[in-house]
Amino acid sequence: MITLETSTAHARSAADGAGEDIAIVGLSCIFPGADSPAQFWQNIVGKVDAISSAPPDWQPELFYNADGPEVDRTYTKRGGFLGDLCRFNPLKYGVPPSAIDGAEPDHFIALRCAFEAFKDAGIPRLPIDRAKTGIILGRGIFVNRGWVTVLQRTLAVNQLIEVLRQLEPHRDESEFELIRQELKKHLPPCNADTFPGIVHSALVGRIANRLDLNGPAYTIDAACSSTLLAVEHGVRELRAGRCSAVLAGGSQVSTPGMVHVMFCQLQALSRSGMIAPFSDKSAGTLLGQGCGMLLLKRRSDAENDGNRIYALIKAVGSSSDGNGAGLLAPRTEGQQLSIRRAYEEAHISPSTVGLLEAHGTGIPLGDAVEINSLNACFGKPQRGRPDVALGSVKSMVGHLLPASAAASLIKTTLALYHRTLPPTLHAEVENPQLELSKTRFYLATEPKPWIHGNALAPRRAGVNAFGFGGINSHAILEEYPHDENALADLDRRWPCELVVVSAENREQLLARVEHLARWLPPDASFDLLDLAASCAAEGGASRLAIVAKSPADLLTKLAHAAKLLAEPERNRIQDRAGLFWYEQPLAQQGRVAVVFPGEGSQYPNMLAELCRHFPEVRHQFDLTSQAFEQRGWPFAEVLFPQPSSAKQVEPQLFQTEIAIASVTAAGRGLWRLLQRFGVTPDAVVGHSSGEYAALLASGACARQDDARLVDIIAAGTDSASELRRSQLMPSASLLSVGGVPENLLNAILADQHGAVVLAMDNCPHQRILAGSEAGIASVLAALQGKGGLCQRLTWDRPYHTAAFQPALPIVERYVDFLDLRAPQIEIWSCASASAVPAEASALRALAVDQWRRPVRFRETVQAMHAAGVRVFIEVGPRGNLSAFIGDTLSGQPHAAVALDVPNKNGIEQLCRALGALAAHGVPVQLNELFSRRGPRPIDFEGEAPVPKRREPILPLELPLLRLDEAAVEAWQANARAADLPPNSARGLPRDLAAPPAHPAAPAIAGEPASESIRAAVDGRHSEANHEIGAAASSAKGIHPSNGSSHGNGHLTVPRHRATSHSTAANGNGGHHAEREPITVNHGALASVPGQAEPRPENRSSAGLAIDPLAVGRSAASSPAIAPVPLAGPAIEVRRAAHLDFQRTMQSFLKTQAAIAHLYGSRHAGRAAGAIVEAPDFKNPPRPEDLACANAAERAMPRVDAFEPARLTSGFPPSAPLPSASQPSASQPSASQRPAFQPPAPPIARSQPNKHQTAAAGADALQAIRRAAAQYPFMETVLESTPGVRLVVECELSLAKHPFLRDHTFFGRRVSDHDPELTALPIMPLAMTLEFMAEAASLLCPGQTVTALCRVRASRWLAMYGASRRVRIIATCEADSAVQVRVVEADGDGEHEIAAGVVELSPAAVSLGAPRLPQLAQQAPPWRPEDVYGKYIYHGPAFQGIDLVEDWGPQGVRAAIHQPEPATMWPGRQVPNLVLPVALIDIASQLPGIVNVNWNLVGSTFLMAFPNEIGRIEFAPAASPEGPLVGTATIAQSSEKLYSDTEIVNADGEVVLRYLDKIEELVSFSLALYQYAFEPHRPLCSSALQSLFAGVPGANHCQLTHAEMAAAKLLVKSFWANVVARLVLNHAERAEFQRLKLPPVPLASWLLARLAAKEAVRTQALGGLACLADVGLQKDSHGQPQAILPDGAIVPVSLAHKPFYAVAVAAEPGVFRGIGIDCEPLQPLPEELLAEAFDADERALLAATAGTAEAATAWRRAGWCAKEAVGKALGRGVLGGPRCVQIVACDAGRQSVSVVLAGAMAAAFPEYGRADARPIEVSWRQHEQFIVGLCLLPKT
């Protein structure tokens, strides 16, 4: 036990040795379940257990095994995980996004917390000396994402490849390299950008840098004590004057599985899945993630600077265990030392501590040692009972290791700030071995108001942190004596809010309610507090009060109230659910009185909720507690007991002293509360002992300051004690009699002759009798069988009877002490049932006298009513008096409102009471409900509130080595090829293997013999020409696309950003650099003539070819781009281009004029557009900038990369509000709408007619089917429950839905000869939305679709075959919302295609004026016709963009129109669509145009495919004719495109609005995309042509190769389908479907076809054909040949390796045969070498090569030669490679000459003769391949 003097001073100066108090002025944190101190506090008092199972990205499969024997596994995956809360917006904090992915997440969360702590401390509004501000953070070194990235990229990948090489030594190096690259592909980067992010010390360095702080900045690792030691250092720095502010805290943002594994080695982690410190369930700890910071200043500075001070730090003590039992075992001596040092330093006694935040890990041994240490320092219970609340926040968030004390400190700080004792979870039953009842500590399991009775010392708390390795610390915190009422209440989420809607009269109120109901976002995404506070600010005599528990609840109640208000006969609304409105408010008719209940109404935990939120209520209990404390009596623990002791102490609550004291305290507290709300009654009255509170309230007691009140309470308590002890009055029995007729009771009482008397006449239904036990018993007997309800009461005092008479002098003395005088408010007496004369003597007489006279409450109430009181407010616990009043005044106009009732949340009852008062016209200052919780005012004249878009999630998981499917397929495909039967010798012992196939192995069906041999020898997949038409034996089905996009893709090419200028070296802006290398497109001049001089500012770069950067920056600043001199022909082109430009400009100006006209009519009413600036990373925002930005944010829509200009879906008040009774003029007339009548009125969802007969059901189904006929896509109704659910199927086909031809991927022309050959038709998402809208309309007939929201597009709806079936499932979600899912009905399961919620309304709703900012960027650098000519593949039915007027990184604005509906349905009747589908599609095309560069540069471009749409709204006339203007604002990340879009008509009205559209950006081959628009343009480069230039015959051939940069995309089956539909004819398409190849072989198959077709069309048709018009087929030997549209046959040969293909086509009739082959430039394994070549051949090849390096090429060339000859001869290599003999090599000509032998010689005797001329095969190296070409001349 520490014995020190109790400190009486709140603050200490440095002079007394203790050091100045340190003020905590700012807090920030992110802990499991909480991303702010406010949320953390809400979770704490809300008892939120934020422990959860690890998320999937934690990779539990790698680390977790609950029961396994492995020592490298964790047996629990439970812990405190940040999950979705872990968000970081790099741009906001001036961090380059490229620096994040491969770095330690702690760095960024710590930076965010630092910013937020500053912001919380009011900086920059309040001063801070940056030069003397330090940062000291606790942090441990654990394995983490950043360093694991380095490890994986360096060590792990290479080790893995080595292991792979050991396992599969025969593999080519290229295959290992592929795996290496594929593995690295998925890892985060590891480079100069990410390096600072893995340097431990740079964590604080980055904060100092970003916040510009010059104090010391370092991290401390002291295990679990790290944060407390960081604070200790901070305290020292501040006290020494070296710093004026210190940011202290701790960080442990991620807890990878490895850390769990190691803690499991100690058996330290809990197997029960929870942390239960000090409880009988303690079973270990669990790890948690998080970061928390405290901004510290000296108290005097903080006070001078006007800081908010959360709490004070008195001292931090620390110690080490010294020579303990072991490094990891806690040692009590060491712990005690740290605790003692803290109290010694602070000069305060542990006896003044009321709350102890323990280290409390939940590990039983640690908990026991900690209790020992605490006992040793804190001593025995002071009054025989525990008085310190003990807990550990680890039970809620887990053990945050070095940051654990950050959570402890912030929790304790907020507990002191809110004067609330916080609870601990899972500690309901204490660990009996700890014997806590003998200590000063009790386990706090429920949040309690921290009632404080010690007048000598403020509230104090201790915080323990004891670390591994024996490092201990203890901090002492103290409350700061601020004005609590002026400070924020961080527990701002109340269980409900009171929303009072006001207007001048009933009609206006109805209009206001209806407006609000429509104006608010229907998805209830607004903040209820903000709304309630904003409504409270409005005034009016007619008031509707709504107690709403959630935004959705409010919407329901608003709608309900609107319905009731519209009922003319209704004159009030009074619903227990929390609705109050009165036609004739009572406060306008009469007076308001307050009634105070007396003894007996107290109950445990009364007003606890109010105490927490309203300090004045708690303060009155504090005062009572002080009075009790002076006498050594318990108070707080009796009134607010912890559950474990509640039963024991409850009887004490009914002892005279505490009973009266607690009821009076409650009355005083609630009275103060009522005053806060400005409610001033006309009269007060007290029931029994409630009179004391009434006297105080009336002002009859002269002085009522705190000290005087404590005296009054003390005197009252002494008086009560005296009464109890004096035995001046006899004990009595009491009986409550209810429901007994008055005359009967009177008769029975008369029979008692005074032995039993009436003590209280409460109301007609309740009277209290008092008397002797015998008398009461006889009354009970007399009442037996007479009905009613009798209850004996538990107390025994004969109050309000003559028996009290002897004790009156005691009361007199107390009343004298009160020093009564004339009251300021009229006071009534229940003894006289009248108002008390305003004279002190009369008051005194009644105050005394009432104790011996019955309480005539019934009569009093009646008299008050007669005197005009209409509203009674019960100010005290329980609410009994309100019921008495209701009973008494039944049938008469009155209102009785209780501020508190048991069994109801205190806040909720307060809201109901204030709501009822407000509705009755009592003036109530409602803002007091909200002011301490920081409501943000809502502008009802502006947009409806919408939640802010959340910031990007910061990945915490460890990077995983993995391969994607394509890489695995590639690897396995090779392995499979090696295993091909029957000739494979691989895997078998040589002597058991089949004998070598040559000389003449039988060919298996469909597979030429040479390939079998090749497979046997080479062990790789067949690559020869013969595989055309050969179905692979490996039949892994083509996976249906599971892509996350939908068929609405549109082109977006990576843009050069003119702002990109920084380099990675300075760490700023490196992410902005273009990823794709920039190359000048020489062909661009010819192909884009209009752009030679598109803009005047471009003239300076006239000497350059088209330089995409030239527009954004000067030519001089782009040295990377080599200037290309203009040649003669180019000048011609330029002239043409200039003419073209002039034409374009003319057209541009014309359209400009039209647009200007449109805008002219809209400018007037529009606010200035947002000025948008690109983030500046050289000058990152500082907190002060942030503050300015926040101010600006309020003033105007803010736009940055993650927060695009926000649109909201509100209804401006100027918009006409169509009501149900007044159909909107824009509602379709009967003639416009389908003619069908709804089969039945809409049936509310809540009342499905379950008793429908089968016949009626069938009728209904028939009716719905008839109704469905009006909708084009509601084909087959499968199921229908009107108003509830509808299931419809629809078959989709090109024949029925011709618009699909205008929505094909990609390109509108695939063939010049066959119109039936189309690219892959994809159902537009807009049409899928139509499916949804139709289903919803059919389900809810008579309603209009006004919006779709929460749309999720899951997969393509592609038309692979002739038709597809979809099922549409619609379910009513609410009265006006239908959830619709569209699923595949013909696949192998009901895969979802899309889903969303359709909103309906009785009438259409205006969308009002535009809200997107007016963009002012620049004109796009392409011609209007290019939009659909080059960039957007949509056909005429979906073409509507006329002119893009404004274009830039913020978005686009364009003149658009809606195409004629008939365009969509050529040649057939145009059906009625519910939605303006074409317009929706056109609107969706706009955002992606932003990425269309003025040159198509690089080899890939980005396409955008919609994933999600937050909301689409439609105006009444959503099928507008005439010119429209579309505006899209966008924001982009590397993977997503976010946009909002509005379409505005000529009247300036919005007709369509897209909100929160999120699209996935997909990289696609630019060449292929361009081919789609111009199918005659070259697709496969002919680089091979020049390579073989000079080879005899090569001038009669066309050589091609295909190696598209994005070819790997083809391994996704969807993209393979897209490409197949672009280039294949009917027969080839059928073959493609039959092939069933794995993805990689399939992709290579396609590439080879591209190459061959390209070669053929170039050779035979000069390129002027579509690839689909060149057919590839095989001859009788399986040899490929090409067939042209005119039937001509063209010789062709092709070969391919994964993602690489070559082909050659020859002039017909020139050659005997042609053959081509390709081989990777990699060593041929030795055993294959032996198979392929004999000794002579090997020697010849080696001699020709000269060097080892060249030998590889020559060997491969030799191989190629043999294959090429086999192909050229048309039969493949018969008999094996030895049947083609190499006889000569020519290094100069790069050729190999061969002769035939064996089977080959036999098959082709003309080449097999001894004198036959050798066949020469030329070879060349192309990229990393050897290509062999055999052009066999005619003999």
Residues in contact with other proteins by the rule CB under 8 A: 556-557, 560, 564, 573-577, 579, 738-739, 763, 765-766, 784-789, 879-880, 883-884, 886-887, 901, 903-904
Query: Taking the complex as a whole, how short is the minimal distance between the CB of residue 935 and other proteins, in angstroms?
Result: 26
Q: Which amino acid is at 1746?
A: G
**781 or 1122: whose CB is closer to other proteins?**
781
- Whose tokens are 């736009």? That residue is 1199
**578 or 1593: whose CB is closer to other proteins?**
578
**483 or 569: whose CB is closer to other proteins?**
569
Query: Taking the complex as a whole, how short is the minimal distance between the CB of residue 724 and other proteins, in angstroms?
Result: 24
Contact 807, 723 (CB under 8 A): yes
**323 or 784: whose CB is closer to other proteins?**
784
**192 or 564: whose CB is closer to other proteins?**
564
Q: Are strands 1689-1697 and 1441-1448 parallel, antiparallel or unpaired?
A: unpaired
Q: According to DSSP H, which parts of 631-741 are helical?
A: 636-639, 643-649, 656-676, 690-698, 706-726
Query: Taking the complex as a whole, how short is the minimal distance between the CB of residue 880 and other proteins, in angstroms?
Result: 7
**546 or 1170: whose CB is closer to other proteins?**
546
State the DSSP code for 544.
E
Rounded CA-CA distance 254/86 in Å is: 10
Rounded CA-CA distance 1277/1282 in Å is: 12
Peptide bond into 124 cis (omega under 30): yes
Query: Taking the complex as a whole, how short is the minimal distance between the CB of residue 601 and other proteins, in angstroms?
Result: 11
**784 or 1221: whose CB is closer to other proteins?**
784
Query: Taking the complex as a whole, how short is the minimal distance between the CB of residue 560 and other proteins, in angstroms?
Result: 6
Q: What angle do CA 1003, 1007, 1011 make, to 5 degrees?
A: 85
CB atoms within 10 A of CB 544: 31
Provide the token pair at 1000: 């003449």
Query: Taking the complex as a whole, how short is the minimal distance between the CB of residue 553 and other proteins, in angstroms?
Result: 9
Q: Are strands 388-391 and 683-686 parallel, antiparallel or unpaired?
A: unpaired
Peptide bond into 999 cis (omega under 30): yes
Query: Taking the complex as a whole, how short is the minimal distance between the CB of residue 802 and other proteins, in angstroms?
Result: 27
Provide the token pair at 207: 């904060």
**Listed residue (1622, 1709, 1632) closest to 1669, CA to CA:** 1622
Query: Taking the complex as a whole, how short is the minimal distance between the CB of residue 733 and other proteins, in angstroms?
Result: 16
Rounded CA-CA distance 1575/1668 in Å is: 9
Query: Taking the complex as a whole, how short is the minimal distance between the CB of residue 882 and other proteins, in angstroms?
Result: 8
Rounded CA-CA distance 1614/1562 in Å is: 13
**500 or 883: whose CB is closer to other proteins?**
883
Query: Taking the complex as a whole, how short is the minimal distance between the CB of residue 1538 and other proteins, in angstroms?
Result: 39
Coil, strand or helix at 1193: helix
Contact 713, 661 (CB under 8 A): yes
Give the list of residues 6+ apart from residue 1424 with CB closer than 8 angstroms, or none.
1144, 1147, 1148, 1151, 1442, 1443, 1444
Buried b (16+ CB within 10 A) or exposed e, 1056-1069: beebbebebeebbb
Rounded CA-CA distance 820/703 in Å is: 10
Strands (E), 1019-1146: 1050-1052
Query: Taking the complex as a whole, how short is the minimal distance between the CB of residue 787 and other proteins, in angstroms?
Result: 3
Query: Taking the complex as a whole, how short is the minimal distance between the CB of residue 786 and other proteins, in angstroms?
Result: 5
**75 or 654: whose CB is closer to other proteins?**
654
Contact 528, 548 (CB under 8 A): yes
- How far separated are the first and last CA of the chain, in Å rounded? 114
Its sign, for the CA torsion 1107, 1110, 1112, 1113, is: positive
Q: Are strands 1285-1293 and 1363-1374 parallel, antiparallel or unpaired?
A: antiparallel
Contact 1030, 1008 (CB under 8 A): no
Contact 1169, 1414 (CB under 8 A): yes
Contact 606, 640 (CB under 8 A): no
**785 or 995: whose CB is closer to other proteins?**
785
**556 or 625: whose CB is closer to other proteins?**
556
**88 or 884: whose CB is closer to other proteins?**
884
**573 or 1509: whose CB is closer to other proteins?**
573
Query: Taking the complex as a whole, how short is the minimal distance between the CB of residue 554 and other proteins, in angstroms?
Result: 12
State the DSSP code for 1705.
E
**557 or 612: whose CB is closer to other proteins?**
557
Query: Taking the complex as a whole, how short is the minimal distance between the CB of residue 785 and other proteins, in angstroms?
Result: 4
Rounded CA-CA distance 309/1654 in Å is: 77
Query: Taking the complex as a whole, how short is the minimal distance between the CB of residue 129 and other proteins, in angstroms?
Result: 57
Dihedral in degrees, nearest 10, Cα atoms 220, 221, 222, 224: 110
Contact 634, 383 (CB under 8 A): yes
Query: Taking the complex as a whole, how short is the minimal distance between the CB of residue 587 and other proteins, in angstroms?
Result: 19
**230 or 579: whose CB is closer to other proteins?**
579
Query: Taking the complex as a whole, how short is the minimal distance between the CB of residue 574 and other proteins, in angstroms?
Result: 6
Contact 262, 225 (CB under 8 A): no
**341 or 856: whose CB is closer to other proteins?**
856
Query: Taking the complex as a whole, how short is the minimal distance between the CB of residue 661 and other proteins, in angstroms?
Result: 23
Q: What angle do CA 1576, 1579, 1583 make, to 5 degrees?
A: 125
**570 or 936: whose CB is closer to other proteins?**
570
Contact 1024, 1717 (CB under 8 A): yes
- Percent helix, strand, coil in the chain, to 5, is 40, 20, 40
Its sign, for the CA torsion 1734, 1737, 1741, 1743, is: positive
**152 or 556: whose CB is closer to other proteins?**
556
